[in-house]
Amino acid sequence: MIIRQLTILFSISFLSEIISSFLPFTFPASLLAMLILFVLLATKLLSIKYIENVGNFLQHNISIFFIPPAISLIDEFPYIKEKILPILIISFISFFLTFLATAYTVNITIKLQERVRKNGKHIK
């Protein structure tokens, strides 16, 4: 069961790599894979039960995937130490803007859902 779920996710990832390589512009294959997965799930061509266990495992252990980039960054520190202040400023500003955008998006979504519920309509 786990092998089948991994095969589905890796196949989608592999397909996105192939599609991304043929595009006339640069587009991240990982983002393309998420879009493909979303379309498959939204159109019910793929049921969530076929990837749920592996998805939950990856979600619960996502921090493991940040360790190699962090170690690489530490290895490259001598090259970036002179530019650390601009990097930190840009990182803080982008974090803050992303936080605000997410907060406002969630707030708008909640208000829209409440408005739809008050009117008696269902979101499908």
Closest CA to 5 of 65, 60, 53, 61: 53
Our measurement of the distance from residue 23's CA atom to the centroid of its chain's CA atoms, rounded to an integer in Å, reads: 21
Q: Which residues of the chain have pLDDT under 70?
A: 121-124
The percentage of the chain sitting over the pLDDT mark of 70, rounded to a whole number, equals 97
Task: Specify the 3-state DSSP secondary structure of 121.
Answer: coil
Per-residue pLDDT at 2: 87
Q: At what angle do helices 29-42 and 2-22 cross, to 10 degrees?
A: 120
pTM (2 d.p.): 0.60
pLDDT at 117: 87
